Amino acid sequence: MQKKWLLKAPPSQSKIEELRSELKIDRIVSSLLLQRDIASFESAQAFFRPKLEDLHDPFLMKDMDLAINRIEKAFTKKEKSYYLVIMMLMERLLLH
């Protein structure tokens, strides 16, 4: 099965410059945000620093239960590599 990419039209240069100036970011990043319908400081903040209640339930992702079981098994067996990676991910999620 072939997939077909649908590209959005690039935003206007004036919108790119306006968002770039407001957020003090690169033009390319500004363009990418605008293509995701992120056009203000508030929407950018919600995108980059979401509140916990704004996040989707992770258990809606396919096979999340299998991932959790594997993580629990790694903790039980004290598998150091899994422990380190999971702790780093948890720290990043909790601090940001």
Shared-domain flag, residues 43 and 62: no
The number of C-alpha atoms within 13 Å of 60 and in the hemisphere containing its C-beta is: 3
Q: What are the C-alpha distances in Å from 48 to residues 1, 23, 31, 42, 90?
A: 34, 12, 15, 10, 17
DSSP state of 25: -
Amino acid identity, residue 28?
Answer: I
Better-predicted residue by pLDDT, 89 or 2: 2
Q: Is residue 3 part of a domain?
A: no
Domain-embedded: residue 74:
yes
C-alpha span between 55 and 60 (Å, rounded): 11
Domain that holds residue 88: 56-96
pLDDT at 96 over 70: no
**Total number of domains in the chain:** 2
Residue 1 lies in a domain: no
Average predicted confidence (pLDDT) for the chain:
85
Q: Does any domain span residue 4?
A: no
Over residues 58-70, the mean pLDDT reads 82
Q: Do 28 and 61 have their domain in common?
A: no
Are 21 and 42 found together in one domain?
Answer: yes
**Which range, of 22-31, 50-59, 72-81, averages the lowest pLDDT?**
72-81
Answer yes or no: do 60 and 46 share one domain. no
Kindly indicate the confidence band of residue 59, based on its pLDDT and cuts at 50, 70 and 90: confident
Q: What is the pLDDT of residue 47?
A: 92
Kindly tell me if the per-residue pLDDT of 80 is higher than 60: yes
Q: C-alpha angle with apex 26: 29 to 37, nearest 5 degrees? A: 30
Indicate whether 2 belongs to any domain.
no
pLDDT exceeds cutoff 80 at 56: yes
Residues 35 and 66 in one domain: no
95 in the same domain as 72: yes
